[in-house]
Amino acid sequence: MNAQVIPVGFMKGFTNKPTGENPVANNLLFYLDATRTASYGGTGTAWSDIKVGGTPNSATLTNGPTFGSGSFANGSGSFTFSGNHYALTTNLISSLSTATFIAWINPSQLQERWTGIIISRSGYAGAGAEATGFIFYTNNQIGYIWNNAGATYTWNSNLVVPNNEWSMVAITINSTEANAYLCKSSGITTAKNSTTHSALSSLKFYIGLEPLTIDTPTLNRGFKGKIATAMVYAASLTSANITDIFNAQKASFGL
């Protein structure tokens, strides 16, 4: 595993666009963004998908994640998750062979191993594919799981997400590798896991929870802290794509 740091001064195409003007729209399965009133108006349990085109795949907020609408420091346009608070997307995704998961997160503490950020698991909400999605490995390290394969969920990226500040985190997956990204004001750090990823069918995503926790709460795999956005693509985005998205959205988080 090799890490690379891309200095902020060399990031491509800085435009300071507000969150919601996503520069990468192709192959987007859903785009949930609490900083945009079109996605969440401040009340209710519906977190709307604001991707352009296609069938909306919105999410339902469950057990009352708290919405923040104050300054950046207070979590403007984000939900505070803790324990069994989560969101669940509406539509079953029929197939997935390549993917990208992206979220803006602000953890309040070290997360438990295999805490869920955006994840689907067989037997929950009608999903058929084995556990697949974006998770923490341990001690706030970016991780992922694909088809419940040990070579994915035991991978250590060494990319540690800081507590009490905003970061954009991403993971891109194709048939032979996964690339993780930790995007902060100081730059973008990456790590690669070279392993095979098979095509999957029948997925439905939870945000802020590893759904196994619903039946086994002692696992404590609920995200603790703030989540502002959640995006899933049916494509493995390039590093330039990730950089463009970060640059387009970071101003909304005071970066």
What confidence score (pLDDT) does residue 105 get?
97
pLDDT in tens, 45-82: 999 999 999 999 999 999 999 998 654 444 468 999 99
Least confident of 8-12, 107-111, 213-217, 235-239: 8-12
Architecture of domain 4-13+25-253: Sandwich (2.60)
pLDDT band at 19 (very low <50, low <70, confident <90, very high): low
**Residue 32's beta-bridge partner residues?**
49, 230
| Cβ atoms 111, 227 nearer than 8 A | no
Nearest Cα residue to 127 out of 173, 95, 170: 95
Instruction: Report the pLDDT averaged over residues 92-109.
Output: 97
pTM of model > 0.85: yes
Q: In this structure, what DSSP letter does residue 154 have?
A: T
Strands (E) located in 90-205 = 93-96, 99-107, 116-120, 132-136, 142-145, 167-173, 177-184, 187-194, 200-203
What confidence score (pLDDT) does residue 254 get?
87
All residues at 6 or more sequence positions from 9 whose CB lies less than 8 Å from its CB, including other chains:
none
CA distance 22 to 244: 9
Q: What is the largest CA-CA distance in the chain?
A: 47
The tally of CA atoms less than 13 A away on the side-chain side of residue 48 is: 13
Instruction: Report the pLDDT averaged over residues 89-99.
Output: 98
The domain spans of the chain are: 4-13+25-253
CA distance 167 to 197: 26
| Cβ atoms 234, 24 nearer than 8 A | no
Nearest Cα residue to 105 out of 164, 155, 177: 164
All residues at 6 or more sequence positions from 12 whose CB lies less than 8 Å from its CB, including other chains:
240, 243, 244, 247
CA distance 50 to 230: 11
Instruction: Report the pLDDT averaged over residues 9-31.
Output: 62
